[in-house]
Amino acid sequence: MNQGIWRFAEWIDPIPSSARLTLGEGGTPLVRSRRLGPSVGLKNLFFKLEFTNPTGSYKDRFACAAISDMVANGKTECIATSSGNTGAALAAYCALAGITCEIAIVEKAPEGKLRQMLAYGAKLYRIRNFGVDSRTSDRVVECLRQLSARPQAQMQISAFAYSPVGMSGVCGISHELIEQITEPIDHVFCMAGGGGFVLAIARGFNQLLNAGKIERLPRVECVQPEGNDTISGPLKSGAIVGRNVDCTTRISGLQVPQVIDANEVIKACRESGGTGHLVSDESVFEIQSRLAREEGLFAEPAGSSAVAGVLQAARAGQLDPNANIVCIISGSAFKDPTSLEAMTRGSACPMIDLSELEQRVEAECH
């Protein structure tokens, strides 16, 4: 039986076994790149396929731990924010637990992700300028903090700054990786919005190092779109803190203009020997298409960002061609129909008569 994230329960903030939920999250595949890595001279590039989780993203690991913690503490109302994947995951696990779920949605969240949340029964409120302007975003969080102060409620935001118990569930990705790849990992490329995901990966490897299960830390590399440079630019330049920005990126899921876990991410990446990488929106959309057409991987734009980062670094000569490198692909393209339409623009599925098919058979097979 699939134990979900609870296979690594000793590394998750303590939750009684009687309260632990699961939809079979975790245990996601690790596959070797057959074309994209070799195209830039990388012999050992691997993809961790987090889009195979139950709701289609790594956020299921977060939601599983977060909502299990609510069950353990008798909470009945989940108050959350989301640009899409967090909301879908929380809505699903709240449905499983019988907990109500209300979510403040960023202005530019994709329609496909909203419908997924609605399908699970969540109540949604899209807020103008949320996820665009850092001041508005901070005020939204403060409102939700006040709502969640009621005894039956709890706020869930996928960041260590707000929901450390839930985020502890994400650290299992690092534990899975060392089971899946026999040689030491040299680099792990991760996309970042608020930074919690990168921090979870780094903390997972630190858990393994402290337990003597690995001899050295992989370099944790933080990839952000240029239009949401809260972490990667400061990390690369030697700064010790992140910065608020006016978000201009079109990459859904990475539209987080305020400093949340940024300062801790900068410290953790630097200690591992990793750095920051900034990629253009155009390069992310290009890699999304190439992942589908050259690797058979159906990733959303946010999930393609880490791959855009590693290919850019390889072209710049920043990576050893023989290094063992993992890119974490965080979510499915099914969640972002707008980007899917852009990927397939110029392609069509024409309706034809049977006679036309028979003519082709005659021409090509006889």
Residue 3 scores a pLDDT above 90: no
Residue 321's CB is within 10 A of a number of other CB atoms, namely 13
The domain spans of the chain are: 4-57+167-339, 59-164
CATH level 2 (architecture), domain 59-164: 3-Layer(aba) Sandwich (3.40)
Percent of the chain with pLDDT over 90: 79
At residue 1 the predicted structure's pLDDT band, cuts being 50, 70 and 90, is: low
Query: Mind listing the pLDDT tens digit for each residue in 13-68?
Result: 899 999 999 999 999 999 999 999 999 999 999 999 999 999 999 999 999 999 99
CATH code assigned to 4-57+167-339: 3.40.50.1100
Residue 2 scores a pLDDT above 70: no
- Asked if domains 4-57+167-339 and 59-164 share a fold, the reply is yes
Query: Mind listing the pLDDT tens digit for each residue in 173-201?
Result: 999 999 999 899 999 999 999 999 999 99
Per-residue pLDDT at 345: 83
Amino acid letter, 18: S
Beta-sheet pairing, 100-105 with 187-191: unpaired
Averaged pLDDT score across all residues of the chain: 93
> Which residue did the predictor score with more confidence, 339 or 67?
67
Residues in the chain: 366
Residues 74 and 151: their CA atoms lie apart, in Å, by 9
Amino acid letter, 255: Q
Q: What single DSSP character describes residue 299? A: B
